[in-house]
Amino acid sequence: MEIVSYIFMTIGGIFFLLGGLGVLRMPDTFNRIQAGTKATTLGAFSTLIGVMFSNPSWIAKLIIIIVFVAITNPIGSSVIAKATYNSKNIPDNLVQDDLKERGEDNDSI
């Protein structure tokens, strides 16, 4: 079980590393949000699953943490994306602007 725990924690660390690299390498805020959110979510899940294998008595607490991460990461990235959109810092290569097509006011979050 200890080897499985180390494997999951290593996978989680790799996802965190790739998420940080994605945040540094992506050209605009929207791409950075996607790279950071997806990679850190998978990294957190893998790391917490690794901790579950190493400490089975913590399973209930770790499941609560996994649920919290699964709920808060998408909400946080959505708020950052909406704030970026409202700041008029929209990239030039934006292919489709759903908010502009719906006629939403850019001043409200």
User: pLDDT tens digits, residue range 36-88?
Assistant: 899 999 999 999 999 999 999 999 999 999 999 999 999 999 998 888 878 87
- CA dist list (Å): 104 to 18, 27, 85, 108: 35, 26, 11, 8
**What H or E segment, with its residue span, contains residue 73?**
helix 59-86
Amino acid, single-letter form, for residue 24: L
- CA–CA dist 29, 33 (Å, integer): 6
Beta-carbon contacts of 17 under 8 Å, excluding residues fewer than 6 positions away, are none
Amino acid, single-letter form, for residue 93: N
pTM for the full predicted model: 0.78
